[in-house]
Structure 1
Amino acid sequence: FDRLFDKIAVRFFARNLGVDPTALKDRPWETYVQAMAEAVRNSTYVEKTCLFGVDSRVDARGRETHRDRTVCAGNSDVIEVAHRYPDQFIPFFSINPLRPDALDLIDEYVEKGCAGAKFLQNYWQVDLNDEALVPYYRKLRDLRLPLIVHIGSEFAIESKKQYEGSNMLRLPLQAGVTVIAAHMGLGQIGHWRAPWRNLSQNPVWFDRDYFHILEMLEVHENLYGDLSAMLLPLRARALKHLAGQQQVHHKLLFGTDYPVPFTIRFNTHRLEREEKKRIAGIQNPFDRYAAALLSFFPEDNPLYTNHQRILTPPHPHEQD
């Protein structure tokens, strides 16, 4: 928590995670890890969660050019935490495809139990439709590893907007990768002259990428969308509309984007006052998030079980 924004927000952040602000500020890593593991262990709804970090930005030669101190976390850290708490976490790796040894690193981290890949290409400034990435995609396809791709706005880290759009999904889908479009392409601030439209529940003012992803979910068998960070106001406004798109519910995945803070009372989902009060009173952050989504997607909705079609069993080495 060395950025000015983090120093200001740390108390709200701690309260949202249910941890002591002083401990989070003085011992951020260990306090955060323990709180996260404890929250999963005590959750009513979440039995286990996929855990991933964010690789750093590198140049064409694989030399690191930027590492965000707040957001970036190495694969070795993710794997160490997942091995320390095997009942709570499933590790995913984050390997910038510009690294010259990226394909070898995939093999290494799969051997250590990683079950999928995470891209933050808008931070890396990588065009996912670059044909040079095809060997990377084929590797993921052959290993049956799902690839989570950030689609939509990004405010927690430096981001290049041209790499945030749903068009980034074209080549990995063509290569046969099972792709997860994180955040459903929502969250852009696009109505500068009428800023209130960015929070409107009228679908006319929703992000174009959102509707493009809805169309793509019906066309591409290997594409899924996740509901992580959907309780942020720029995205929560679409929950009612998405709940009505039953033709794609078999392609949606539950996700929280923990530890990103979210609010229940001051939001755009328009839940009833008593319902908001009830959900806001839930202490466990995973359960609080799940309770909000359950207001739109009941327990029998396939989005809570669709992950079973994507996650493969751990590597044989990890089962010994």
Structure 2
Amino acid sequence: MKVLGVLLSLVLSWSVYANEGLLNEKSVIDHHLHVACFGYQSKCYLGSRARENWRFWFYQKIFDFSESEAKRHGDGYIFDKLAARIKKSKYLKKAVVLAMDQVYTKEGVVDKDHTEFYVPNEFVAEHARRLPEFEFAASVHPYRPDALEALVTAREMGAVYVKLLPAIQRFFINDSSLKDYYHKLVELDLPLLIHVDDESSFSQESQQFSEPAHLEFPLSLGVTVIVAHAASNGERDGRPTREIVLELAKRYPQLIADVSALTIFTTRKGHLQQIVNSWSADRLFYGSDFPLTTNLLSSPWYYLFTLGFQKTWEIAQISNLWDRDIALKRALGLPVTVFHQSLVP
């Protein structure tokens, strides 16, 4: 029976891709992956708001990494667990792990009250060097007193781009005082991965900082901007955020997007098809937004009426999280070329 089960799994896996275009094994890079950490054998920080929120338990569950494990093995153990899962993936080669800087006031002071969690650059870079399954994306808050030096250091540590989340890190993208910061990104050839649609993964968000039209400032200075989730969720003054970003994309060829989280049922159901129909495929990059690709949030069964029973059932049988996410996005129309494009050398 075990042999029969293995053969059935292989047939199902093949059937998902056979008529969807050739996807090379171990060729895909996940450009959007998060890690959990608690402050054990690392300088990670988890604020009281995060700990007291219901998501604290939920995130431990979907990360498959608990605080008790971190106490025993150290925060870095999550990288080992993730590397083992990536090795078992048929299609995923490696993943870019995103750091997350603390919140700073405009005066350059750390704002602990608004910092829900802190994933230091050094922590991510250390484990990305240790394990070939990972690349490192830095996070440098633009109000840090040493922001420009920190960008240089991040590049020297191997950062492939910089990630910012204005609704959580609390800064305006078009703040004129950030001009030198954006110039430094261009000088260092560091793209900027940034979130400009509605954010709902934290206990508190300040959506006024996530204004997609404000991207024109860094774009006008030559920054390569990667819009997380293709800005698919939300509206500004009655206009969908994705449309505002698309207008900018017509004028700025260095504006690109990742397709992470675009199958999440609760907030982004149907968004992947909208993005596929409106964006040029050569400006899209694969991302998962792990751990939000868990079956609980992104199950293929949520798309039963779109895909039909047979296709949905086939995808649901794929046990590896990334292979299942790739299969679902392929079945929903994401071109194979998107999976083969990469921002990582």
- Smaller-chain TM-score range? 0.7 to 0.9
Further displaced range: 226-235 or 172-181: 226-235
- In the alignment, does 2:322 pair up with 1:286? yes
Structure 1: 5+ residue stretches without partners: 191-204, 314-320
Query: What are the Cα deviations for residues 82-113 of structure 1, in whole angstroms up to 9, with x where unaligned?
Result: 0111x211111100000111101111121111
The residue aligned with 1:144 is: 189
Please tell me the root mean square deviation across aligned C-alpha atoms, in Å: 2.8
What SS class does the counterpart of residue 286 from structure 1 fall into? helix
Q: 1:251: how far off?
A: 0.8
CA distance in 2 between partners of 1:144 and 1:33 (Å): 27
2:283 is the counterpart of 1:251: yes
Which residue of 2 is the match for residue 316 of structure 1? none
SS at match of 2:302: coil
- Does 1:267 pair with 2:267? no
What percentage of aligned pairs have identical amino acids?
24
2:313 maps to: 277
Query: Aligned partner of 1:276: which letter?
Result: T
Q: Deviations over 1:265-304 (max 9, x none)?
A: 4536833233223223322221121111111345633x22
Contact 1:165–1:185 (8 Å) recurs in 2: no
State the alpha-carbon separation in 2 of the partners of residues 166 and 159 from structure 1.
Answer: 16
Query: Partner residue of 2:147?
Result: 102
Check the 8 A contact 1:54/1:94 in 2, yes or no: yes
* 1:36 and 2:82 matched: yes
| Counterparts of residues 69-84 of structure 1 (less than 5 Å) | 71-84=117-130
Output the amino acid matched with 2:283: K
Counterpart of 1:242 in structure 2 is 275
User: What do the CA deviations read for 1:94-145 (whole angstroms, capped 9, x no partner)?
Assistant: 0000011110111112111111100111111100101111111111111111
The question of whether the paired residues in 1 share the 8 Å contact of 2:108 and 2:143 is answered with yes
Residues 97 and 299 of structure 1, relative CA distance in 2, 3 Å threshold: same
Matched, 1:121 2:157: no
Rate the CA distance shift 1:8–1:276 in 2: closer, same or farther, 3 A.
farther
Give the equivalent residue in structure 1 for 2:138.
93
Q: Which letter does structure 2 place at the counterpart of 1:9?
A: F
Structure 2 partner of 1:200:
none
1:166 deviates by 1.2
Distance 1:151 1:45, change over 3 A: farther
* Pair 1:292–1:22, CA change in 2 (3 A): farther
Given the alignment, which residue of 214, 236, 241 partners 1:209? 241
> 1:216/1:296 Cα in 2 relative to 1: closer, same or farther (>3 Å)?
farther
Structure 2 residue runs without a partner (length 5+): 1-37, 39-50
Post-superposition shift, 1:22?
Answer: 7.3
Which is richer in strand? 2
Q: Distance in 2 between matches of 1:287 and 1:213?
A: 29
RCO comparison, higher one (Cα < 8 Å, 6+): 2
Q: 2, 7, 13: which one pairs with 2:62?
A: 13
Partner of 1:133: 178
User: Structure 1-normalised TM-score?
Assistant: 0.80
Give the distance between the partners of 1:79 and 1:113, measured in 2 at CA.
7
Partner SS, residue 92 of structure 2: coil
Give distance in 2, aligned partners of 1:136 and 1:10: 32
**Change over 3 Å in CA distance of 1:219–1:290 after alignment to 2:** same
Query: Which residue is 2:101 aligned to?
Result: 55
Change (3 A) 1:4 1:208: closer
Is contact 1:214-1:248 (8 Å) kept? no
Aligned length: 289
